[in-house]
């Protein structure tokens, strides 16, 4: 029983392994080259059909970029942009956008 418990614990630890630490500066640089045209230099979209990325949760952004890269999610532009991204580039870029703080102001 003890061996089974240890084996399960080891398997769980492997399943929960975290990706390499994200490099926000590298993510900002990558976003400036590939993302800013549509999503804005600070993650506020410049096109009406592009979403704002600033302040989005990193895990959500990582999942969506990986879905575009794999073809699970399809978009004529994003599928092409995401295809060559490495896992580290996805982590870095997602961390950059997640690090951007938004301020909500009340309207008139």
Domain boundary assignment for the chain: 22-99
Prediction pTM value: 0.78
pLDDT, one tens digit per residue, over 2-46 is: 564 444 455 544 444 445 699 999 999 999 988 999 999 999 999
Q: How far is residue 67's CA from residue 78's CA, in Å, rounded to a whole number?
A: 10
Q: Nearest CA to 20 among 94, 101, 79, 99?
A: 94
Q: Which fold has domain 22-99?
A: Cytochrome Bc1 Complex; Chain D, domain 2 (1.10.760)
Query: Where is average pLDDT lowest: 77-81, 84-88, 99-103?
Result: 99-103
Phi, psi of 54 (to 5 degrees): -60, 130
pLDDT, one tens digit per residue, over 50-60 is: 999 999 999 99
Q: Nearest CA to 93 among 48, 44, 29?
A: 29
């Amino acid at each position: 029983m003890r061996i089974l418990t240890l084996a399960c614990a080891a398997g769980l630890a492997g399943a929960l392994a975290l990706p390499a630490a994200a490099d926000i500066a590298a993510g900002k640089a990558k976003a400036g080259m590939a993302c800013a045209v549509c999503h804005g230099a600070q993650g506020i979209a410049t096109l009406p059909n592009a979403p704002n990325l600033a302040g989005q949760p990193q895990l959500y952004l990582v999942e969506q970029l990986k879905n575009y890269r794999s073809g699970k999610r399809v978009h004529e532009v994003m599928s092409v942009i995401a295809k060559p991204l490495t896992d580290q580039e996805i982590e870095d870029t997602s961390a950059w956008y997640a690090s951007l703080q938004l301020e909500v102001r009340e309207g008139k």
